[in-house]
Structure 1
Amino acid sequence: MDKKQAWLQLVREKSEHYLNLHDGGFDEKMQARLINCDYEAQTVTYAFPTQGWQINEKGGIHGGAIAGMFDTAFGVVANFTAGDNEATTTDMTVSFLRGVDFGMELHLKVFIVKAGRSLIRQRAELADAATGKLLATASGSWMPL
């Protein structure tokens, strides 16, 4: 198996593992699913549904839930990027560009910026799956343990 095929297989396996632990945890509640991965671009895209428990007092999706989507996707990508180690969030910044409405299907694309031994740097874009409109962006760092 060449390097590209090994990477694609690792993305699929780790995504399936981390997003389906069936432990009742936060990541499971997010109901994310892998929809695309691109070895050349070093990107991984996940779909996230909007859910009733994420609704804020204005009827949209709570900013904390949106930040949670980024952290979930970043965490999965950081954990397979870290190799045999797990990785933990060291910092994350989210910029909210538009409101997210309940009922939207969301696509969150993670870009691996730098995969170092001591720090993994990533950025991501959250878009409305139906229109492609950019809703939020984020960036952050993860430390392999």
Structure 2
Amino acid sequence: MSKENFEKQIRKRMEQLDEINEHGIFKELKGTVTDFNYDTKSLTMTFEATKFHENAFGIMFGGSLAGMFDIAFGTLTAGLGDYSVAPTVQLSTTFLKGIPTGATVRTEVEAVSTGKTIMNFVGKAYVGEELVGSASGTFMTPRPFKKFNTEK
């Protein structure tokens, strides 16, 4: 994929994410693409740890961090391919520090490999300059993508 196509696909995915229903996980996490780089096959997104994501300990629920990585990896997948959806095959998240409610979480993700059927990613999450989590993920590149939900 060319640099121009990469940037076009990332911008297209950003528009699609803006159109997702208002109660979808992306909207609830208030995600924003802040940077992407074709040469390093990387992407940075920020998310908000709102009260909606608070757990019984008064910090962000760990599943929200996993969701942040899933969205960031998926967005990068869209930039690296000619499709807008790539199913998650595997996602492993390491939680290093509790994330306070109200914090802005920055995820920095990059592609490790981009094959014809599988893409692998790694990422780190920060609050300010503090590392709060890391993740790795594997995504299937659809050729063609089978739509499982047939309801209209």
Normalised by the length of structure 2, the TM-score is 0.85
Whole-angstrom CA distance in 2 between matches of 1:19 and 1:70:
17
Which segments of structure 1 move beyond 6 Å, counting only runs of 4 or more? none
Structure 1 residues 28-43: aligned runs within 5 Å? 28-43=27-42
CA-atom RMSD, angstroms?
A: 1.8
Any idea what the Cα deviations from partners look like across 1:93-114, whole Å, max 9, x if unmatched? 1111111111111111110111
Structure 1 residues 45-60: aligned runs within 5 Å? 45-60=44-59
Q: Which residue identity is paired with 2:119? A: I
Gaps of 5+ in 1: none
Matched residue, 2:88: 89
Structure 1 residues 1-145: aligned runs within 5 Å? 3-22=2-21, 24-84=23-83, 86-128=85-127, 131-145=128-142
Whole-angstrom CA distance in 2 between matches of 1:137 and 1:39:
22
Whole-angstrom CA distance in 1 between matches of 2:22 and 2:99:
27
Contact 1:43 1:111 in 2 (8 A): yes
- How many pairs are equivalent? 142
3-state DSSP class of the match of 1:111?
strand
3-state DSSP class of the match of 1:45?
strand
Any idea what the Cα deviations from partners look like across 1:34-77, whole Å, max 9, x if unmatched? 10111211110001011111001111101111111111211222
Whole-angstrom CA distance in 2 between matches of 1:9 and 1:82:
11
Whole-angstrom CA distance in 1 between matches of 2:12 and 2:81:
14
Whole-angstrom CA distance in 2 between matches of 1:85 and 1:16:
11
Contact 2:31 2:46 in 1 (8 A): yes
Identity of aligned residues (%): 23
Whole-angstrom CA distance in 2 between matches of 1:126 and 1:19:
22
